[in-house]
Every structure is written in C-alpha cells, then in structure tokens.
C-alpha cells in the first residue's frame, strides 16, 4: 500500500530505526498520500541529530546542517532527512530567531503550518495525526495548527501558503484561519518578494487558480501585493507552466514591469515580453514577419490569451500554424546571406546599415519578394538597397 517510489525512503527509515532512533515520513508527502495524489519529494523527520544520521549512512551530503537537514544517498537516490526541530520566537514575522533540535515528534509537528501538513506516517503505514489533519482533509478545509493569528504572526508567508493550497486542492480556508489572514494581511509586505513569487507561481499554475485569486481578493492580501488580482479574469485560465501564468498576470494588468516587482528572472521577462507583443500582433492582424519572429509556443500562448480575453479572433490556430510553416524560411538565421556578403557588395563603410539591410532581406524573403538564394539576394540588394 505504500507507494513503490517510496521504497528508498522506507529503507532509510528502517536503517535509522535499527540504529535506535525514530523516523517518519512527514509534511506534504503524507498529505498527498492521504489525498491519493502523486507527490515526488518525500521528507523524513527523525529524532536523530544530523551527526548521528551521518554516522548511520556511508554516504551523506551536508545540505543544511544548521537547519538539521542531511541528504542521505541511498542507491544513488538523495533522500532528505531532517532532525525534529522547534522554532522559537519570531521577532520579524518571517524567520525563527533560532532552530532547536528536539527528540520528540509532536514538537516538530506543532511548528508546521496547516493540520493537513502536520501529519507523520510510519514505515508500516500508521498515521500520527495529532491535529485532525485527515478530518480536515475530508472536510476539504485548510486549518492552521494551533491559534491561527499566532501562527501567521510567526511567519506571514503562511497566509499566502493557505491561499496556494486552497487553489491547488479546491479547499476552503477554515473560518478562524481566514479571519486571521484578514487581520494580518498587511504583514505580507515583510516577506521577501522571491518567496512570494514562488507561492504566486503555484497559485497561477493551480487547477483552481480563480479560487486562489478570489481568496487573495477577499482575504485582503491582494491589497498588499503589486498588481491587480481579479478572479473573473482567471476563470477559464488553466496552465501548468509558471511562465504562462506570469505572462497572463501581466497581460491582465497591462503591465509587464510587475515581473521586476516580483523579482522574476530575465527569462521570465523575455517570455512575457514576446507573448504580449505577439498578442498585439494577433489583434492587429498577424503579418508574415510576425509569424517568423515568434516561436510557436509564444504564438500559441498569445492565441490562448486572445480567447481568454474574449478578443475577436479572425484566424484559427490551425491557420496560424499553417501560415507559419508555409513561410519560405523558419528563422532569420536561414537567410542565405550574411553581413560579410553585403559588405563586399557595397563600397559603404561598416555601420548600422548592415543590420538594417539583413532585416530588410529577411522581410523581402518572408514576403516572397525575393528567393532565399545568394545570387538573387545580391540582385535584390543592388536593385533596392545599394543602387550605386
Ligand atoms: P509541495 O507539495 O508544494 O511541496 P509541501 O507541503 O511539501 O507542498 P513544502 O514547502 O515543501 O510544502 O514544505 C514541506 C513541509 O514543511 C510542509 O508540509 C509543512 O509541514 C512544513 N512547512 C513548510 N513551510 C512552512 C512554513 N512557512 N511554516 C510552517 N511549516 C512549513
Ligand atoms: Mg514539498
């Protein structure tokens, strides 16, 4: 009954138990197991200290000893093992002032955010469920462990995590937990944008994204986050690609600079920029040169967005693809001439005209004005660019 891909984790737990310590599967893996959902990373919590774990296994990697985490290499597979810990006083709403290792599982479960994430599973398949995690999962409730207001006071990111889990699981945020978010929403501003970005990415790619956006609005969190969050815009949106999610967020907001606010990568920014440009091209009527410039995935994303935004679409997706495939070249790189060639054909000095000429040549080829052939392009060059 324990999933096959957990065999490595079970072996590791058994070894730890044989050495006289406790070890359990904990956190998201237990939640997803109870939900019958696939979860790839299995976390193990143990009563053994990091150095005791290192002594049990021949091959370990020290990834975060100060937080109690050791990677155990088991048959080439890395398995994360973390010592039971508590987190004492949080003076800044985002980090514990100190991490203390403890020998007691209950202490470790108590510091976790939501009841569904605060369960442990033994290697024999027995649940340790001290906070009614399974009951709340059955009721589809996201419920803070302990007093919600205190828990969000310790770490404000948990408020956003509550919304994220609601969007992923289509669960309701339990009333007291929800009220506490409303009261403390402003403290989300204390959290690093990179961490907020991670949670928003998960909301944008969740199966019930509109539910998540709705929660951002109604909890008050949205007021303290850059950009507008309007659930109606997200009702039919569905993507498992975070870049597509961020591009859509920017489209809805008509503001690509939001990616800077959220510290998104340059790659994310580039994708969004291209999608928004392709979107505008599709609206004006897509030209051949546009079809050359944008990759199929960018065009497809922009096309999807047109439909979502209920823009009038005069061309089918099939036609877009066909017209792109029918272009004489599929990339500007396929042009039969280079800057060297045009330099040789002209008496003019090196300068920006070379790049402009190559662009004009690409346009001419794409629009069927000249064949992509060196000699033909030379004739075209003398006839239209360099008449001297
Ligand atoms: P996912 O499936 O998205 O990875 P997860 O529940 O595994 O979800 P993680 O961020 O990987 O989430 O964290 C693993 C576990 O650590 C959580 O299940 C929870 O028990 C605990 N945890 C993570 N972040 C926090 C937090 N900010 N406050 C309290 N407990 C947390
Ligand atoms: Mg996880």
Distance from C-alpha of 278 to C-alpha of 292, rounded to nearest angstrom: 11
Q: Which long-range contacts (CB under 8 A, 24 or more apart) does 289-295 make?
A: 289/362, 289/363, 289/366, 289/367, 291/320, 291/323, 291/324, 291/327, 292/324, 292/327, 292/329, 292/330, 292/331, 292/332, 292/362, 292/366, 293/332
List the beta bridge partners of residue 80.
Answer: 43, 71
Q: Smallest Cα–Cα separation from 248: which of 220, 279, 223? A: 279
271 found inside a domain: yes
Residue 314 placed within a domain: yes
Same domain, 15 and 121: yes
Q: Mutate which of 37, 112, 142 to test ligand 1's pocket (most atoms within 8 Å of Cβ)?
A: 112
Measuring from atom 5 of ligand 1, which residue has the nearest CA?
28
Is the residue at 62 inside a domain?
A: yes
Choose which residue among 113, 153, 188, 195 to substitute to test ligand 1 binding: the one with the highest number of ligand atoms within 8 A of its C-beta: 113
* CATH number for position 160: 1.10.110.30
My answer on whether 288 and 185 are in the same domain is no
Residues 298 and 357 in one domain: no
Dist. CA 112 → ligand 1 center (Å) = 7
Supply the pLDDT for residue 388: 54
Amino acid 97: pLDDT: 67
187 and 223 housed in the same domain:
yes
**For residue 216, is it within any domain?**
yes
Do residues 148 and 155 make contact, with C-beta atoms less than 8 angstroms apart? no
Do 17 and 112 lie in one domain? The reply is: yes
CATH code: domain of residue 374: 1.10.246.80
Looking at the fold, whether 183 and 146 belong to one and the same domain comes out as: yes
Alpha helices by DSSP H, listed for 119-172, are 133-138, 148-154, 157-169
The structure tokens listed for 356 are: 């402009």
80: containing domain: 1-131
* 253: in domain: no
Point out the ligand 1 atom lying closest to the alpha carbon of residue 157: 27
Q: Looking at the domain assignment, is residue 249 inside a domain?
A: no
Q: Which residue has the tokens 């290697």?
A: 123
Protein residue closest via CA to atom 21 of ligand 1: 112
Of 97, 96, 73, 229, nearest to 160 by C-alpha is 229
Q: Kindly provide the residue ranges of all beta strands, DSSP E only, lying in the chain, ordered along the sequence.
A: 23-26, 43-46, 60-64, 69-74, 77-83, 85-88, 98-101, 120-121, 127-128, 141-142, 172-173
Number of residues written out for the chain: 388
Same domain, 173 and 124: no
Total domains present in the chain:
4
Taking alpha carbons only, the member of 217, 96, 242 closest to residue 166 is 217
100: its two tokens? 């203390």
Residues 160, 154 contacting (CB under 8 angstroms) = no
Q: What is the pLDDT of residue 91?
A: 66
**Closest C-alpha residue for ligand 1 atom 15:** 27
Same-domain pairing of 127 and 7: yes
Output the domain CATH number for residue 78.
3.30.460.10
Regarding pTM above 0.85, the answer is yes
Are residues 81 and 6 part of one domain?
A: yes
- Give yes or no: residues 381 and 309 share one domain: no
Domain-ending residue, one of 238, 253, 288: 238
Q: What are the residue ranges in the chain where pLDDT is below 50? A: none
258: in domain: no
Q: What is the pLDDT of residue 69?
A: 95
Of 325, 342, 364, which marks where a domain is finished? 325
For residue 281, CA distances in Å to 75, 269, 290, 314 come to: 52, 18, 7, 12
Are 314 and 189 members of one domain?
Answer: no
If 0-12 CB within 10 Å is exposed, 13-18 middle and 19+ buried, where does residue 72 land?
Answer: buried
Residue that finishes a domain, picked among 99, 131, 163: 131
Distance CA 361, CA 385 (A): 10
Look at ligand 1, atom 12, and give the residue with the nearest C-alpha.
28
For residue 28, report the distance from its CA to the centre of ligand 2, in Å: 5
* Residue 272 zone, left/alpha/beta (φ > 0; ψ -120 to 50; rest): alpha
104 and 89 within one domain: yes
Nearest one of 351, 333, 334 to 342, comparing CA atoms:
351
What does the H/E/C string look like for 360-383?
Answer: HHHHHHHCCCCCCCHHHHHHHHHH
Residue 120 lies in a domain: yes
């Amino acid at each position: 009954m324990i999933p096959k891909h957990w065999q490595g984790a079970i072996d590791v737990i058994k070894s730890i138990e044989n050495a006289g310590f406790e070890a359990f599967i904990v956190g998201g893996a237990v939640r997803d197991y109870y939900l019958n959902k696939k979860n790839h990373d299995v976390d193990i919590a143990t009563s053994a200290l990091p150095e005791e774990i290192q002594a049990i296994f021949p091959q370990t990697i020290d990834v975060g000893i100060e937080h109690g985490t050791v990677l155990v290499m088991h048959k080439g597979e890395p398995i994360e093992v973390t010592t039971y810990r508590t987190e004492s006083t949080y003076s800044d709403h985002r980090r514990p002032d100190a991490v203390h290792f403890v020998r007691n599982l209950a202490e470790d479960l108590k510091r976790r955010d939501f009841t569904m994430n605060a369960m442990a599973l033994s290697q024999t398949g027995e649940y340790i469920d001290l906070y009614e995690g399974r009951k709340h999962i059955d009721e589809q409730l996201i419920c803070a462990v302990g007093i919600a207001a205190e828990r969000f006071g310790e770490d404000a990111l948990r408020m956003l995590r509550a919304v994220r889990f609601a969007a992923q699981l289509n669960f309701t945020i339990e009333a007291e937990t929800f009220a506490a978010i409303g009261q403390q929403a402003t403290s989300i501003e204390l959290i690093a944008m990179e961490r907020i970005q991670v949670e928003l990415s998960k909301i944008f790619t969740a199966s019930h994204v509109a539910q998540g956006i709705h929660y951002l609005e109604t909890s008050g969190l949205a007021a303290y986050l850059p950009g507008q969050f309007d659930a109606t815009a997200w009702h039919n949106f569905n993507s498992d690609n975070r870049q597509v999610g961020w591009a859509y967020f920017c489209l809805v907001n008509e503001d690509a600079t939001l990616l800077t606010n959220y510290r998104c990568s340059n790659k994310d920014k580039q994708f969004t920029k291209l999608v928004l440009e392709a979107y505008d091209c599709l609206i004006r009527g897509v030209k051949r040169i546009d079809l050359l410039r944008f990759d199929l995935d960018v065009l497809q994303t922009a096309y999807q967005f047109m439909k979502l935004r209920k823009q009038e679409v005069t061309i089918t997706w099939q036609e877009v693809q066909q017209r792109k495939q029918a272009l004489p070249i599929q990339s500007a790189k396929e042009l039969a001439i280079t800057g060297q060639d045009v330099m040789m054909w002209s008496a003019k000095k090196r300068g920006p005209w070379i790049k402009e000429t190559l662009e004009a040549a690409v346009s001419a080829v794409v629009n069927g004005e000249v064949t992509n052939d060196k000699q033909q392009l030379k004739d075209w060059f003398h006839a239209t660019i360099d008449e001297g």
